[in-house]
Structure 1
């Protein structure tokens, strides 16, 4: 008798069978339209698969070299750029951002405008927020602040003006709030070096790691995935809806506002927190460099600083057991997090439907880029994939 993979004890299956099962179920249940999943252990690929459709309406199949809009998968790239520039002595992470953006002086409720350092922007300890992280009617709505993946054609000067008119949620370095800090940081890095942020990413990250497909422009539009959001068909069944400019998705107390066409508008500012596009293979190259202590990119102490919790758990807005480093969350307490991942695991995702993690203790790097939000970022698939990777790992 041949049992379905889901009916066989997980530890008895090969990693390929387990991950295939998690991916196949998500596709069959129409929680995902398509995905590329890559798993490496100790630097060796142990799983790689493209599944489902890159574009459902044209019946274009997913391929391993499909290009996705990365959303917050951008953050570790830009964080690595900042640390590299600090290594080179071209910036001081503890300097105030006003050194390079003198007009950017958001105020606290009492009317004071405290200095914000580059390091505080990097660690989301600046007091800034995201529009999608605020309830309807906030000052972020009033000033129509862009979250970096909406409002095609908006330039950075205008978005900094809008953001600078909002109220700081707390005094810098007294709390944590996920924010547009990396968008501000990205422009500060460009001003400090006289080099546009896309060029910095290309020179300091993409070129050293031989990335062909990742940056602030799409390398090949024929390979760009269509993107989808959770939805229900007319018959009541689950059917992800194709995104278009202006698509919205409820997110806790806020709203995610999407514009997949933003990246095609050359006037759109290069969002350091959400503006890049790329392939799963290129993302894995970055993760592997960080897992190996910096690899070709960073000095070991710089890579270590990315992967250490600058705000320890617990953090409001993050799952229990997770702190935050530079560019992603850091696992501080696996028991509190109820996860098989090891302490020190570095992980994050992206609101177009992505998740990834590095577990340095177990030698693991895992990338799952999907074209379906929010299932591919925070849905059941992410838990099933994680558990499939760890089940029987040391058997």
Structure 2
């Protein structure tokens, strides 16, 4: 069912200014103006458990602050801030806080690329070297390390679709495997190098498996970003601004935070040596204070909960929001469907019941998932513990924002998901 945002609640969110958003109180009007104890099928009393749960993470010194949003049938039914966006400066969390969304960049990069797919500028089964010739003749890791590393030729070309699905064989350098050590050295060498230099270096790194053989999280969506740049002749952020951000009025989403908005950027935290929450002095990808040389399509964006809500509502609506059509309905269906074969499900250990769409996980068996769910719901998270899911069956969106590296150290997002679903009573 196609939805529009006609409620006062949602309309107020869509007119957020470029530098200063409307106060939280003016947005979360639904609970103030509706005397009923039920709003869009949610129990208001049960929704209050979201704040209780978030506050427990804050008072136990696990998180400094959180911002959470739940929407159903196009109406925001819950939007609340808890704790601090900068604990040391005693700056409260607020609705206009800007977050490093890291891997929640991936769905936006995927959508940018799909706008070009709709125009016939590439096909899913295209070998990537058709568009990025730097990535031809890739090698695959077999055994050993250093001078004793054994490689073999890729048995087939990496396809564009394999990049979307993280089945191409590229890695991220997160482990201490022989291949990941090469990635770590390459990233240190590249630093602020150009997209062309990054592609050239990637061409020298071995794949961790034959293309299509496994699911392995890696720089695949970054390469999709390079594909967008090659096809459009524009920097990734420039094309996103034109194709997504301006049409959806996502005025606070960018690859860096402008000087006049820096005070709204949340402090980022991590675990201390005794398990306490401490400031992370060296967050991934730098300080986001200036336009980077490379627009990192896999994890480089900053955004607000209001902007990301507009993006997710556009997807839930089948590609359109307030008259701005970004994608066709069938394109969104393709994006949000599982594309992994049965032998690759679950896509990762601990992801029971989860397949994978284009740059997002998709629930294929709600009974196999470890928390409340619906088959067909999809979403992803970011390294600093940002999180979202879109549930077409319930016509529902949930988004939670905080800034704690690494994701999953405190599983607050799992609790958030459960406490949202338990509030449904219709």
Shorter-normalised TM-score: what interval? 0.7 to 0.9
- 1:155-194 matches, cutoff 5 A: 155-194=194-233
Q: Is this contact kept in 2: 1:294–1:303, CA < 8 A?
A: yes
Q: How does 1:16-35 map to 2 (within 5 A)?
A: 16-35=47-66
Matched ranges for 1:63-102 at <5 A: 63-102=94-133
**1:260 corresponds to 2:282:** no
Cα deviation for residue 36 of structure 1 reads 1.3
1:216–1:277 CA contact under 8 A, matched in 2: yes
Instruction: Please report how far the alpha carbon of residue 277 of structure 1 lies from its aligned counterpart in structure 2 after TM superposition.
Output: 0.7
- Distance in 2 between residues matched to 1:334 and 1:385, nearest whole Å: 17
CA shift for structure 1 position 89: 2.2
Question: Contact conserved, 1:123 with 1:327, CA < 8 A, in 2?
Answer: yes
Of residues 131, 152, 170, the one that matches 2:173 is 131
Q: CA deviation at 1:306?
A: 1.1
Tell me which residue corresponds to 2:317: 292
Counterpart Cα distance in 2 of 1:108 and 1:137 = 14
**Residues 58-102 of structure 1: CA deviation (Å, up to 9, x unaligned):** 111111111111110000001111111111223333222212321
Which residue pairs with 1:277 in the alignment? 302
Contact 1:130–1:147 at 8 Å: present in 2 too? Answer: no
Q: Is the 8 A contact 1:128 1:181 kept in 2?
A: yes
Partner SS state of residue 90, structure 1: coil
Q: Is the 8 A contact 2:222 2:297 kept in 1?
A: yes
Residue 221 of structure 1: aligned partner: 262
1:115 and 2:157 matched: yes
Give per-residue Cα distances to partners, 1:147-197, cap 9 Å, x unaligned: 79x975243233323322221122222321111001111111111121211
TM-score by length of 2: 0.80
Q: Kindly report which structure 2 residues correspond to 1:330-345, keeping only aligned pairs within 5 A, or say none.
A: 330-345=362-377
Give the Cα separation in 1 of the matches to 2:253 and 2:424: 31
TM (normalized to structure 1)? Answer: 0.86
Whole-Å Cα distance in 2 between the matches of residues 127 and 90 of structure 1? 24
Residue aligning to 1:325: 357
C-alpha distance after superposition, 1:248-307 (max 9, x if no partner): xxxxxxxxxx2432x335444111110111111111111111112222221011100111
Runs of 5+ unmatched residues, structure 1: 1-10, 248-257
Partner of 1:369: 401
- Check conservation: 1:140, 1:166, Cα contact below 8 A: no
What is the rounded CA distance, in whole Å, between the counterparts of 1:78 and 1:382 in structure 2? 23
Q: C-alpha separation between the residues in 1 aligned to 2:81 and 2:374?
A: 27
**Structure 1 residue 223: deviation in Å?**
0.9
Q: Which has the higher contact order (CA 8 A, sep 6+)?
A: 1
Change (3 A) 1:77 1:378: farther
**Counterparts of 2:299 and 2:79, CA distance in 1:** 25
Contact in 1 for aligned 2:255/2:291 (Cα 8 Å): no
Among 384, 409, 415, the residue aligned to 1:384 = 415
| Closer/same/farther in 2, CA of residues 152 and 366 from structure 1, 3 Å limit | farther
Equivalent position of 1:44 in the other structure: 75
Match of 1:302 among 323, 326, 331: 331
Q: Is the 8 A contact 1:345 1:359 kept in 2?
A: yes
How far apart, in 1, do the equivalents of 2:192 and 2:86 lie?
25
2:276 aligned with 1:244, yes or no? no
Gaps of 5+ in 2: 1-41, 142-150
